[in-house]
Amino acid sequence: MKLLFDENLSFRLISLLSDLFPGSVPVHDIGLGNASDEDVWEHARQHGYTIVSKDSDFHERSLVKGFPPRVVWITRGNCSTGQIAGLLRANAVRVAELHADPQAGYLMIR
């Protein structure tokens, strides 16, 4: 499963998590660094990404629009890139379950 990291998350997550989530990219690497949420959403939907963000915007959009794409919403406050990588590692099974569940559109990680 491929993750699309929102602009509020570091590009360094790609190398820190490449063993668990190969094919993942930050929005900046695909020309969506300053794009609207709608453009990011549509790209993720068309290309099979799960969006990862610290903002509630994509979670809220998933409640209105449904899925795909699926959304992983990290709700922890200020934290380092290493801590975010650790959260995603610790929740890798839950992220995989989100992707496999035909009824689930988002996952909140604290």
pLDDT tens for residues 55-110? 999 999 999 998 999 999 999 989 999 999 999 999 999 999 998 999 999 999 99
Q: Does position 7 have pLDDT exceeding 90, yes or no?
A: yes
The residue written with tokens 């996952």 in the block is: 107
pTM metric for this prediction: 0.95
Span 33-45, average pLDDT:
95
Calculate the CA dihedral of residues 79, 81, 83, 84 and round it to 10 degrees: 90
Identify whether the C-beta of residue 41 lies closer than 8 Å to the C-beta of residue 28.
Answer: no
pLDDT for 2 equals 95
Task: Quickly state the pLDDT bin for 45 (edges 50, 70, 90).
Answer: very high
Helix axes 92-100, 81-90, angle to 10 degrees: 60
